[in-house]
Amino acid sequence: MTDVPTGPFRAILVSRDENKNQSVDTTELTLDDLMEGDVVVRVEATTVNYKDGLAITGKSPVVRRWPMVPGIDCAGTVVSSDHAGFAAGDAVILNGWGVGETHLGAYAQYMRVNGDWLIRRPDAFSATDAMAIGTAGYTAMLCVMALERYGLTPQSGPIVVSGANGGVGTVAISLLSGLGYTVIASTGRPQEADFLKELGADEIIERSELSDPGRPLGKERWAGGVDVAGSHTLANMLAMTSYGGAVAACGLAQGMDLPTTVAPFILRGVSLLGVDSVMAAKPTREEAWRRLAQELDIKKLHSLSQTIGFADIVPTAHAIIEGDIRGRVVVDMG
């Protein structure tokens, strides 16, 4: 269905009162309520990312325009377009660019956005598949691309992945293992070891080995890392990276701080590679999605994702902040 809606449609709205107390409501919007943009998209699937959890719980200041429809990514179909690159009926993916933060987001049945933000959905993926990947999976690919650009190969040595059971972690393990890397998965949920091994992890280590305060330099255990946690986890990852290695850092699940020293950098030539998905340039995004379409094992993707309905978004947002979600959550918008 590619009709422009004439009546109201469902959305989740986070609002703030004059005392900055946040509330979350299910509401109805019309196209007139949406923000500026040259393309209207019917949202078919969206996801619950960690950042969506932060926005809905209010745990971190993700939302910077009030009220806000959260939801940082979607897969959908264009219903109307004044943008030269897109026409009604096109299957598209959207993530980042401040959607769900400064621009009304994906927890609504329709969005109006800047067509420059849209990516064509690869034929290999249904809307649900694309959101099983979502921002987390696409960020995992950006991390892999950063390590490759730096020059790491499977011959360089093992790669450690923190937050192994989370969205970025599960997809990173799957991608790295598919590329031939030896993968060390760090998790606070060792009971999920069998699942992580099926995804491609060769070794499982306890989260506390990285998340507790450590020494400036440790035994050289891996050639590189994908870190979703920040804080002591990233500091320890760097301290245990072998000479000339690199860690791609994308997250703050443990904390925003980075209690490290310069020792890994100046004594072992280790590099810290920053990864941002929100403002990544379009060619980088297209490359990441093209590679995901080619390299991500679709069976593994299905094994690491679960589908929920619109009504489950808010409780799931709380659960992801509590660290209770394994892998990826897709929201079927009906």
Instruction: Provide the binding-site residues for ligand NDP, judged by CB under 6 A.
Output: 49-51, 135-136, 139, 162-169, 187-189, 207, 211, 228-229, 233, 250-254, 275-278, 320, 323, 325
Are the C-beta atoms of residues 57 and 318 closer than 8 Å to each other?
Answer: yes
Q: How far is the CB of 199 from ligand NDP (least distance, A)?
A: 11
Q: Which is nearer to ligand NDP, 77 or 307 (CB)?
A: 307
**Looking at beta carbons, which residue is closest to ligand NDP?**
166
Minimum CB distance to ligand NDP smaller for 40 or for 196: 196
How far is the first Cα of the chain from the last one, in angstroms, to the nearest whole number?
11
CB 100 within 8 A of CB 49: no
Q: How many CA atoms lie less than 13 Å away from 243 in the CB half-sphere? A: 1
Query: What are the residues whose beta carbons fall under 8 Å from the beta carbon of 245, sequence distance 6 or more?
Result: 152, 156, 157, 222, 223, 224, 268, 270, 271
The nearest distance, CB 107 to ligand NDP, in angstroms, is: 16
List the structure tokens of 162: 């923190």
Shortest approach of ligand NDP to residue 31 CB, angstroms? Answer: 29
Q: At its nearest, how many Å lie between ligand NDP and the CB of residue 3?
A: 33
Say if CB 185 and CB 159 are below 8 A apart.
no
CB of 115 to ligand NDP, least distance (A): 22
Q: Which is nearer to ligand NDP, 42 or 207 (CB)?
A: 207
Whether 133 and 127 have beta carbons less than 8 Å apart is answered as no
Structure tokens at 63: 């939302």
**Three-state DSSP class for residue 235:** helix
Q: 86 vs 97, which CB is nearer to ligand NDP?
A: 97
Nearest to 185 by CA among 229, 217, 152, 145: 229
Question: Residue 76's closest CA among 65, 90, 61?
Answer: 90
DSSP H helices in 182-334? 193-199, 208-211, 231-239, 263-268, 282-295, 298-303, 313-321
CA atoms within 13 A on the CB side of 209: 19
Q: Which is nearer to ligand NDP, 56 or 78 (CB)?
A: 56
Residue 42 CB, nearest approach to ligand NDP (Å): 24
Q: Which is closer to ligand NDP, CB of 81 or CB of 177?
A: 177
- CA 209 from chain centre, in angstroms, equals 24
Shortest distance in whole angstroms from residue 143 CB to ligand NDP: 9
Nearest distance in Å: CB 317, ligand NDP: 10
Q: Of 111 and 210, which CB lies nearer to ligand NDP in the complex structure?
A: 210
Are 204 and 225 in contact by the 8 Å Cβ rule? The answer is no
Nearer to ligand NDP, 80 or 231 (CB): 231
